[in-house]
Amino acid sequence: MRIAVVQESRPGETRVALVPDLVAKLTGLGYEVGVEPGAGAQAGFADEEYAEAGAALVDGLLPGADVVVSVNPLAPDRLRQLRSGAATVSFLPVAASHDLVGDLRDLGVTSFAMELVPRISRAQSMDALSSQALVSGYRGAVVAAGLLRRFFPLNMTAAGTVQPAQVVVLGAGVAGLQAIATCKRLGAVVQAYDVRAAAAEEIRSVGAKAIDLQLETLEGTGGYAREMTEDRATQQKQALAPYIAAADALITTAAVPGRRAPLLVTREMVEAMPPGSVVVDLAAETGGNVEGSVPGKVVRIGHAQVWGGDNVPSQMPGPASRLYATNVVNLLTLMTHEGAFAPDLDDEVVAGACVTHQGRILHEPTREAIE
Ligand code: NAD
């Protein structure tokens, strides 16, 4: 059976869904692996490396492919080249991709969305949301340190003492915890806040102080946060304002599954930050945690430079691709039986990730929204 690794078509995308080191895992499972020439170039992986690892470098892979792996979903014109019964494995933001999901159904393509892999212990090695959030969190911290016109760590020198930077992190999921840990390693003093009660212990475990706003916590289902009411949001903003006004760097990572990112920080709150301060909004693409942040741009609000994240994992394409590819290969391994691609839809991980199969939409919320 043939696996095709395609060149990504989303503007600005630099990642690739398979790295040369992992080709042997797939050939070992019994697949032939085809890679579109240049697919790994922007992530730093040359065609020759794929070829040496046992992949075939050929154009026009789609019509003969049994499984297509990519980071982003295939563009509609490329999707139409697939045969009925072929499968795709990629990120597939179903809530924002109704037309595409309809096409996948109508073309008889079996599609799997990496963001729908259930976040249970058994599927941790396939959890691409976590692996890419790890990259974003690290990158966000390093960007904040790079933009800040002062030291992150304490320095005690003969010329005097330089105080460490004060950092506030909002949202302490996978990206937030990685941002905290990275800022700590760089020597900053870090405080963090999350609406989930369990997050306080996790914040402390990576060396930061957990901010306690004395507000109701907001646990949703599956270990995620619940959306705030307007009243709760106002209280949270008021309570957070003094912490943000005292911060040299603010990093925001808050998200609620399936919703626009919550607005946590108003323009006025940023305007109260000190001269030379920095804001990194890792949620800018999904609506923004910070009023006025723009994805992919640095804007000035008051004294602060406000950096809006835009496909942040693509800024570290080598490691992001390697982590993503590991997640994909682990999911493919689960769906391979006796050398053939044979997804077992009775397996909760496989069923959870499956969006369309044999002309039907299996992901219930999407089916209800579309049909
Ligand atoms: P996410 O990207 O959906 O959200 C990021 C963070 O924003 C979350 O911690 C959330 O609580 C927080 N948040 C939401 N609204 C907020 C607000 N108004 N103010 C402040 N913070 C707010 O979440 P994620 O990083 O993907 O993961 C969240 C949870 O899932 C964590 O508990 C994580 O440990 C858990 N998780 C479990 C597994 C697993 O068991 N395999 C894997 C990954 C993550």
Q: Among 91, 136, 196, 213, which residue has the most ligand 1 atoms within 8 Å of its CB, making it the best to mutate? A: 196
Is 130 in the active site?
yes
H/E run at residue 156: strand 155-157
Residue 224, ligand 1, Cβ within 6 A: yes
Residue 223 has pLDDT above 90, yes or no: no
pLDDT tens per residue, range 331-358 = 999 999 999 999 999 999 999 999 999 9
Instruction: Return the beta strands (E) in 239-333 as ranges.
Output: 249-252, 278-281, 298-301, 304-308
d(CA 325, CA 21): 10
Atom of ligand 1 nearest to the CA of 174: 25
Is 321 in the active site?
no
Ligand 1: distance of its center to the CA of 253 in Å?
A: 9
Residue 127, ligand 1, Cβ within 6 A: yes
pLDDT tens per residue, range 124-138 = 999 999 999 999 999
- Cβ–Cβ < 8 Å for 366, 355: yes
Residue 264, ligand 1, Cβ within 6 A: yes
Average pLDDT over residues 302-327: 98
Q: Which of 7, 103, 111, 127 is catalytic?
A: 127
d(CA 47, CA 51): 6
pLDDT tens per residue, range 139-197 = 999 999 999 999 999 999 999 999 999 999 999 999 999 999 999 999 999 999 999 99
Tokens at residue 9, please? 């078509």
d(CA 199, CA 185): 20
Is 212 in the active site?
no
Question: Which CA distances in Å does 243 have to 64, 160, 211, 343, 347?
Answer: 57, 27, 9, 49, 46
pLDDT mean across residues, the chain: 97
Ligand 1: distance of its center to the CA of 93 in Å?
A: 17
> pLDDT band at 371, cuts 50/70/90?
confident
d(CA 81, CA 43): 26
Ligand 1: distance of its center to the CA of 177 in Å?
A: 10
Residue 259 has pLDDT above 90, yes or no: no
Atom of ligand 1 nearest to the CA of 130: 43
Phi and psi (nearest 5°) for 225? -85, 160
Whole-number pLDDT of residue 282: 98
Between the two ends of the chain, the Cα-to-Cα distance in Å is 33
Residue 228, ligand 1, Cβ within 6 A: yes
> pLDDT band at 220, cuts 50/70/90?
confident
Atom of ligand 1 nearest to the CA of 133: 25
d(CA 130, CA 176): 11
Task: Supply the ipTM of this predicted assembly.
Answer: 0.94
**Who wins on pLDDT, 118 or 221?**
118
pLDDT tens per residue, range 51-74 = 999 999 999 999 999 999 999 999
Q: Which of 224, 226, 305, 367 is catalytic?
A: 224
Residue 174, ligand 1, Cβ within 6 A: yes
pLDDT tens per residue, range 40-50 = 999 999 999 99
pLDDT tens per residue, range 186-212 = 999 999 999 999 999 999 999 999 999
The predicted model scores a pTM of 0.96
Burial 300-320 (b: 16+ CB within 10 A, else e): ebbebbbbbbebbbbbbbbbb
Percent of the residues in the chain that have a pLDDT greater than 90, as a whole number: 96
